[in-house]
Amino acid sequence: MCRAVRGYLDHLTVERGLSVNTLASYRRDLDRYLVTLAAAGVTDLAAVGAAEVEGHLARLRAGDADHPPLAVSSAARAASAVRGLHRFALREGLAGVDPSRDVRPPTPARRLPRALPVDDVIRLLEAAGPGTATGDAAPRTLRDRALLEFLYGTGARISETVGAVVDDLDVDEGTVLLRGKGGRTRLVPVGGYAVEALRAWLVRGRPALLAAGRGTPAVFVNARGAPLTRQGAWTVLRGAAERAGLPVAGPDAVSPHTLRHSYATHLLDGGADVRVVQELLGHASVTTTQVYTLVTVERLREVYATAHPRARG
């Protein structure tokens, strides 16, 4: 069974091009599945029945002495990993049937992404510090403003942002090449405010911090001259959010993905076509992007409810 799991993960890496983070999650899910099967005395995927699959998924939701109950979204991902493994085993001749075929994974509740109002985004950006090369702004202040302007001005994921290198960025043309999930790349425009902040960072801030390290092509670097990490970027955003008076804890906490949600929602509010937004976000399917149209409809409904004299009743 361990060989089957390794083969399946290799298939996901080579054929599906899944991200490193997704593969790591699948590996943990499947390792836990193998432990469950071993405890039940099952040593061959061909001997697994629907009862074993259903029992494993039920235990994930209930939790045990060593594991807390999984949220619906995490349980759905684990179910996807298990079902994928069995489909792979059937296709490769490692099993005669797929015992997970009729097992329905839990359906996560559809949660609308939270987008900040434009005024809150502006407050957040300004709280990061000045975004121009004038004055005596510290290098890290220039970096922080450029980082947040970049996140909101491009809609990039946090992994794409910290993974961007200088050669991917063309400030004269106002574009950046982003490297997204599954090895897919896309060229997206960079807004004028972000370009201005990036120029200040690249000219005055980055060389000063870079001198402390051994040299890196990363656009964003830390105080040691090394590439800025995801955690480092989170710290920058959290600090700016606190200074702007925005929530940094709880369900409404501001995160890098909040700026991505805001980017998409504000584009749609401004009249952008959903297919264009799909390309800008790097979504493989427009279905993923269409959740943002629901956010826009909710906003329209709120405006209607407060502005129309016959909205109630």
Which residues are designated catalytic? Answer: 157, 181, 257, 260, 283, 292
Q: Which two tokens stand for residue 56?
A: 């494993």
Residues 6+ apart with CB under 8 A from 192: 174
For 194, the 3-state DSSP assignment is: helix
- Written as six digits, the tokens of 29 are 């899910």
17: alpha, beta or left? (left if phi > 0; alpha if psi -120 to 50) = left
213/209 Cα distance (integer angstroms): 8
Write out the two tokens for 25. 């999650």
Q: What angle do CA 233, 259, 241 make, to 5 degrees?
A: 60
Residue owning tokens 């510090």: 129
Q: What are phi and psi of 165, to 5 degrees?
A: -115, 160
**3-state SS class at 221:** strand
The span from the CA of 231 to the CA of 178, in Å, is 19
The whole-angstrom separation of Cα 147 and Cα 151 is 6
For the stretch 207-238, what's the b/e string if a residue is b when 16 or more beta carbons lie within 10 angstroms of its beta carbon?
A: ebbbeeeeebebbbbbeebbbbeeebbeebbb
- DSSP letter string, 49-105: -HHHHHHHHHHHHH--SSSPPPPHHHHHHHHHHHHHHHHHHHHTTS-SS-TTTTPPP
